[in-house]
Amino acid sequence: MERKDWPLWEVFVRSKAGLSHKHAGSLHAPDAEMAISNARDVYTRRNEGVSIWVVESKYIHSTQESDVESMFDPNEDKIYRHPTFYDIPDEVGHM
Amino acid sequence: MEQKQALFNYLLRLGDNAAILGHRLSEWCGHGPELEEDIAIINTALDLLGHARSLYTYAGEVEGKGRDEDDIAYLRIEREYRNALICELPNGHYGDTIARQFLFDQFNYLLFSELVNSTDETVAAIAAKAIKEIRYHLRRSTEWTLRLGDGTEESHNRVQQSFHDVWMYTGDLFVQDESDKAVIEAGIGPDLTLLYPVWQDKVKEVLKEATLEMPENGWMQSGSKQGRHTEHFGYILSELQYMQRAYPGCEW
């Protein structure tokens, strides 16, 4: 019998209403519906979630290892981009 | 029949269904066809064991002889178990397990949907908690029935055979006796003869969508309500009860 592996899916779980979905991990499933079902059983069995997103891993595009220097290093010495660089007047309150 | 005895019998049957099918499913642990499926089927097994615990505990209270859930689970002999025969059938291949699970889940879902409205408050409370899990079990076994039935030629043929093989054990789910009648009269549980046509329609609908043929009703096995089991049952108990029989009262 020919064996075809199920495609890989990335799972994102929202832990509670109002928070964003976070990457929880990946799993194999034959289709989207079963991927959601498997995600429920693999990643939310200890009450971790209220909503699940799945996407086939092949549809995720990412930065390349070789681009790291040009992509991220230039930001290292630009501390003025951090909000902590500025004094915030007390009247502004919590930010 | 005395009301208390009827309720005790009834709870025992519900509890045994959950415990024995849960035990069967637990045999897949580490042997599932895929890692994800292994985890999913064991989740179902654990859900069922949870139902069994609540039902056994309440059965012990109703009986009033001081037996707890463990006494009831581990210290009865074969003929004292009242689970439906379909629950004790061997797992076979995954298609066999799915066919058995789908037919049982559909039954269990209809039954517990009614038990939610039981006049017995404890039964209603146990059912209200369990029905959420049972709805999910049914969803999963339905999805797998559709995928195996409407999958490859091989999966179609194999799961079709699974449904034919298990069919003769479905009649036993709907057999009623004196205990059932007493429980129905008291409004504790539903009349299974009313659930049967609904079960048939639902099963037919899913099998049709799965491009599977609904097996014909031929001769049906029965006897579970009198404690008459298939030849497979003794082996389940010898494994399930070994520790308590060899080391009575042992805890860990």
Give A64→chain B minimum CA distance, Å: 30
**Domains in chain A, CATH or no CATH each:** 8-59+68-92 (3.10.20.520)
Task: Give pLDDT, residue A1.
Answer: 47
Chain B residues bordering chain A (beta-carbon distance below 8 Å): 34-37, 39-40, 43, 136, 139-140, 143, 147, 154
**Domains in chain B, CATH or no CATH each:** 3-246 (1.20.1260.10)
Picking from B36, B39, B139, the nearest residue to A29 by CB comes out as: B36
Do residue B36 and residue A42 have CB atoms under 8 angstroms apart?
yes
Tell me what the mean pLDDT of segment B35-58 comes to. 96
**Residues of chain B with pLDDT > 90: what percent?**
98
Find which of B28, B29, B36 to mutate to test the A interface (most A CBs within 10 Å of its CB).
Answer: B36
**Residues of chain B with pLDDT > 70: what percent?**
100
ipTM field: 0.78
Phi first, then psi, for residue B82 (nearest 5°) are -120, 25
- Residues A22 and B45: their CA atoms lie apart, in Å, by 29
Which helix (H) or strand (E) segment holds residue A10: the answer is strand A8-14
| Chain B residues in contact with A3 (beta carbon < 8 A) | none
Residues B97-142: tens digit of each pLDDT: 999 999 999 999 999 999 999 999 999 999 999 999 999 999 999 9
Picking from B37, B140, B154, the nearest residue to A1 by CB comes out as: B154
- Residue pair B85/B224 in contact by the 8 Å Cβ criterion: yes
Picking from A34, A41, A42, the nearest residue to B143 by CB comes out as: A34
- Residues B97 and B103: their CA atoms lie apart, in Å, by 10
